[in-house]
Structures are given as C-alpha cells and as structure tokens.
Amino acid sequence: MSAQLLGLGDALRVDVVLFVLAGVLLGYVVGVLPGLNRPAALAMAVPLTYYMSPLSAVAFLVGIAKASGAGGATTAILINTPGEPNAAATALDGYPLAKSGKAEKALKVALYASVAGDVLGTLVLIVVAEPLARLALRIGPVELAALTFLALTFIAALSGRSLARGLAAAFFGILVAMIGIDAETATPRLTFGLIELADGVPIMVVTVGMLALTEMLIQAQEYLTQGPDKSVEQPAATQTDRTLSWPEIKSLTPTTLVSSGVGIVAGIVPGLGPTVASFLSYALAKRWAKPHERFGEGEIKGVAAAETADNAVVPASLIPLFALGLPGSVSAAIIIAAFTIHGVMPGPRMFEEHGRLMYGVYGAMIVASFIMLIVGRIGLTAFAKLTLVPATVIIPFVTAACVLGAYVETKSIFSVWLMVLFGVLGWVMHRYDYSRITFLIGFVVGPLFELAVRQSLIITHSNPVRLLQHPMALLLLACAAVVLALFSFAPRTGEAK
C-alpha cells in the first residue's frame, strides 16, 4: 500500500503536473495541425524525454497521446480533413454540423466524449493491469512465444488489406531488431562491418524515421500533387447552436458508455487500434439510432461515438503493455522507448520492480484527463485557428525536429542518416501497402520474441511433440491458425475513404 500512495503522491508533484500540461498542450497542437498525427508526435517527443525522470517522461508522452486524439477532431469537424484514419469517423457527422453553423457544439461534444472515454479506459487499466500481470508471471517461454506470435498475427491481419504483407512487415521488423551483437554467441549479426550497429538499431531512430519523417514525406508528396487545401468559412451560429443542453448530454450518455466499451476492447486486443474502434462504435450507434436521428447529416451522437472509442483505446492499449510487455497499439509501442531509455523493461515484473513508478503513471494519467478537459475547454476557439497553419510551415519544422531527435540519443550523424533511411523505407512501405505499424511493433517485440523462441527450443529439445505438454501454447497457436485461415480466404475490400 505504501508504494501505491507514494506513487500517487509523485503524480501530484509540480514538475510532473507541468510535464503533463506540456504534453497535453503539445498533443492538442499536433492533433489540430493538418498533416500531423499521434504516432508522429510521440516519435518526435521521445528524444525530449531523455533528460527527464522516468515518471515525468511517461507522463509527458501520455499527455500527448491523450490530447492529440481530442485535438484531431478539430480538423475533422471544421475542414473535413482528419489527421488520422480514426478521425474520419468523426468527420462523417462533425463536418455536416460545422456546415450548418453548429461547429462549436460539435467541438464540445468531441471534447467531452474524448475525456469520458479516456477516463473510463484509464479506470479499466488501473483495475485490470496488475492482476493480469500476476497471471502473466506464470506464463512460461513456450506460452509467451505462442502469445507473441498470436499478437503479431492479429496485428498483421488488421493493419492492412493483405495478411501476407502484414506478416512480412512484422517479421521484417523482427529481423531489423536482431541487428547487433548476439547476446548468446557474442557474434555480430547483420552489422555489415559497421561498428555503429554493434549495439543494434536505436528504437528512437526507427520510430522517428518510420513515423514522423515518413509522414512528412507523404504530406509533402500530397502537397506537391494536390496543392494546398482550402479552408471553409463556417456560417454564423446562434446561441442554441453553440451550447450543449442537459437533454442532449443525457441522450449522449448511453452512446458514450457503449463506445467506451468498444474502445477498451479494441485497445486490449493487439492490432485493432483506434481506427477500428471509431468506425465500429459509429456503426453501432448508427444501427441503434432512433427514427429522427440522421447519421451522416449532422448527428451529435455520431461525433460522440467516434471520439469516445478513439480516446478509450489509448489507456486500454497500455494494459497488454504493462501486463505482458506487448504493445496494444503503435502509441504503446513508442511509449516503450521512454521506459527503456530510463532502464525500465515493460512487462509483468514492472509492478514488482517499479511499483511506485507504475502507480505514479496511473496518477499522472488521471491528472492528464482533467488537464485535457480544462485545456480543451479554455482553448476551444484558439486551437481551431491552428487549422490555418500551412503545410509549407509544418513540413520543414517537423523534419528539422526529426533530425534533432535522431541526433540527441547518440550524438552521431550516423543516427541521422539511419533515421533518413528508415524514413524513406517507411515511405516505400506506405506506397506499396506494407504496414509501418506492424513493422514497428515487430521491431519492438523482436528481442522478446527471439528470447522466448530460443528458450522454447531448449525446453522442448526442438521436438514439436513436446508441445503437447503445453496446452495453453497449443491453444494460442490454434487461435493464430484460425486468424490466418479467416483472413487468408476472406474477401479483401479497398481502404476506407
């Protein structure tokens, strides 16, 4: 109990609260600016945490992750330009509301729904993560290897239109994670004679290059081919159009609760993520709509459903990270970098070895929820004006931040060139529909997966028959086989517009 109380007290320290506030402000700005998104913002922010305390570093990133989702609704509602795929569901009803003069009401619904989903997801994380971690401590290497393979299969199946390409990206990420000196044989692997690769590829270089820099390359390509976007002038709104009445809040409550549940489940299951959660919640709300509710034409329940699920995913995706060491989303995968920089290895032993830190993170997440509500409400109008910042300003600024971030960790120009290489690789993967998210998660869990496989081979003496002594591993492998079969033969559709 003392560790819990001390951790919660740490979350209320002035420096931690200030870093949470800074993260929330940065998250809102990134979410509002067209062309930026949550993973790119986190990737750029990881280098900034290098000189912070472990709690301040994670709290700062959590603030960014939470607020960027809420801020992303601004561009989707005002100019019909979602910065991330999950915000596209918000635009379905948010933009029609803005065109009818109800932009402020739509922004308020998005903010309150985001905070509600975030708070509920955080509470589930606090309740579930530690008991699940205790259960995970009983899992042996064979079961862990099977569980990791199942998670990678889920992610590969749900991250793109091709299961084969998803698996290829995941195992390519694992291959890149193997670069460096082999811990067992002390021999160099895939270093190509470069001493700079002896310690492996830095996770910060990979995340900044594959997410932030690649995103800027994509935005630059779109700007050159399509030209600058034109903003839309909104009609004047009445007082009724700007305010949110109590009857409207009461009508939104069931939608918020259901959508929170959808977002929590999507966060726990690796590979689903905020995009699936947002569109699934929107589809459920539309299916249960009353006759007078016209989804797609300006229904506030559509905005609430999408934003609640989107933000519930963020804390829920940390459940498998804290309990099993497996990131439930790309944002959780990037947060691993902050932990590892400060010598903390995510997984079930975190609660035993760093109990005070974990409860400090819980407290910081709750603080971030309240700060997000206050900052979002006060800056509702100001943040909306950030949508006018042109791409010609955003792209050079973010690219410079990527170069600086890659240089900070190793103080080496080699890291900068390596970051550029991964940025170009990410653009190529995007061009040919190979999931960068799957690659990144494969890279993050690669060392864990390799160690579990090696230990499994020793335990079973490389004899597949001995798997019969591990029924849980067989069950997990069977689930992976079912996923492979379903998504291999299921008809593929085009990407959501």
Q: What is the mean pLDDT of residues 85-102?
A: 75
Q: Using 50, 70 and 90 to split pLDDT, how confident is the model at 150?
A: confident
User: Residue 215 contacts by C-beta under 8 Å, 6 or more apart in sequence?
Assistant: 35, 36, 37, 40, 398
DSSP 28-47: HHHHHSTT--HHHHHHHHGG
Determine, yes or no, domain membership for 72.
Answer: yes
Stated pTM of the model: 0.66
**Is 495 a domain residue?**
no
pLDDT at 384: 58
Number of domains in the chain: 1
Q: What residues pair up with 188 in beta bridges, in sequence order? A: 181
Residue 321: pLDDT band (50, 70, 90) is: confident
The SS3 of residue 468 is: helix
Sign of the alpha-carbon torsion through 491, 488, 271, 475: positive
pLDDT category of residue 494 using cuts at 50, 70 and 90: very low
Position 86 pLDDT exceeds 60 = yes
pLDDT at site 232: 46
**DSSP element (H, E) containing 214:** helix 214-226
Taking 60 as the threshold, does the pLDDT of residue 233 lie above it? no
Q: Is position 246 within any domain?
A: yes
Question: Which is more confident, 85 or 123?
Answer: 123
pLDDT of 340 > 70? The answer is: yes
For residue 497, is it within any domain?
no
The boundaries of the domain holding residue 278 are 2-489
Position 167 scores a pLDDT of 83
Q: Which pLDDT belongs to residue 186?
A: 78
Query: Which of 263, 231, 295 has its CA nearest to residue 91?
Result: 295
**Which span out of 66-80, 126-140, 191-205, 278-292 was modeled with the highest average pLDDT?**
191-205
Question: How confident is the model over 399-458, as pLDDT tens digits?
Answer: 887 787 677 666 788 888 998 999 999 899 888 888 787 787 788 778 878 888 888 888
What is the DSSP code (8-state) at residue 176? H
Which range among 28-32, 258-262, 311-315 shows the weakest confidence by mean pLDDT? 28-32
Three-state DSSP string of 350-412? HHHHCHHHHHHHHHHHHHHHHHHHHHHHHCHHHHHHHHHCCHHHHHHHHHHHHHHHHHHHHCC
pLDDT of 34 strictly over 50? yes
Angle separating helix axes 471-489 and 163-177, nearest 10 degrees: 130
Are 8 and 363 spatial neighbours (Cβ–Cβ below 8 Å)? Answer: yes
| Residue 362, domain member (yes or no) | yes
Q: How far apart are CA 494 and CA 497, in angstroms?
A: 9
State the average pLDDT over residues 288-316: 81
